[in-house]
Amino acid sequence: MGVLLHEVSLSYPGTGLVIDRMSAEIEDGEFIAVLGASGCGKSSLLNIISGLLAPSAGWLEVPEDGAAFMFQDSNLLPWLSAGANVELALKLADYPKALRAQRVRELFELVQLSHAVDKKPHELSGGMRQRVALARALAQDRQVLLMDEPFAALDAITRDMLHEELRNLWEQTGKTIIFVTHNVREAIRLAGRILVLSSHPGRILETRRITDELRRNPAQAADLANELTTILRKEQRKHEHTDRT
């Protein structure tokens, strides 16, 4: 089972409507990018899917075990080793104690970080800390993985490397990934489908399927990136105009 949203809306007191009647069907094993400018409700949507927020209207269906969440900041506990941070997630998920050390090793191998199990977070680069955060999210062993701009703070070279590793990991695990970003090229590189949101309140403006053929064609990818960027800029200007009036 994937994720089903039906006419989902969200309002905050004093802010008004943040998400407006959003409907989408995300299939099991899909890699979806949610693309939109700041303030369009992308993070709020993930919070609703994760169960951290209840929608103001509409309904949704998610797998019984819920969803794992990976944030922009790794939020690792600084006094624990990288491995211990992931083991803590296993403990909270009631993973058998006798099997935790082996599972930690498997997860670190999966994110290509086997050499860093015993290192403290301050000894790791930003990209390595995000890999540990990804291993921690995978430790929850849930089919749906929510990722809220996890690579936004990284330099371009590190981000490019992690894009490739995330795609490989998705292909290996078959997880359903919902990846929030405001970076058009990141969305095109990673996702099989892109949901483009309007600016405040968030509505689904466009849905675009991304094929491997398009991804491998620089000219086609650039044309699509320019098209989506134009849509987002138009929405952002509309939002800024509304704020001034």
Chain segment 46-101, per-residue pLDDT in tens: 999 999 999 999 999 999 888 999 988 888 999 999 999 999 999 998 999 999 99
- pLDDT at 216 exceeding the cut of 70: yes
Beta-carbon neighbour count of residue 168 at 10 Å?
12
How far is the C-alpha of 176 from the C-alpha of 189, rounded, in Å? Answer: 16
Report, at the CATH architecture level, how domain 3-66+144-244 is classified.
3-Layer(aba) Sandwich (3.40)
Burial class (CB in 10 A: 0-12, 13-18, 19+), 228: buried
**Model confidence over 149-188: pLDDT tens digits?**
999 888 888 888 899 989 999 999 999 999 999 899 999 9
- Where are the CATH 3.40.50.300 domain residues in the chain? 3-66+144-244
Residue 16: pLDDT band (50, 70, 90) is confident
More reliable by pLDDT, 79 or 235 = 79
pLDDT of residue 241: 52
Record the tokens describing residue 116, joined without a space. 């860093």
Contact 134, 150 (CB under 8 A): yes
pLDDT of residue 244: 47
Record the tokens describing residue 137, joined without a space. 């999210």
- pLDDT at 39 exceeding the cut of 80: no
Beta-carbon neighbour count of residue 57 at 10 Å?
13
- pLDDT at 238 exceeding the cut of 80: no
Record the tokens describing residue 173, joined without a space. 């695990």
Cis before 96? omega within 30: no
Query: Which uninterrupted H or E stretch holds 230?
Result: helix 218-244
More reliable by pLDDT, 82 or 141 = 82
C-alpha neighbours within 13 Å on the C-beta side of residue 147: 32
- pLDDT at 245 exceeding the cut of 50: no
pLDDT of residue 84: 95
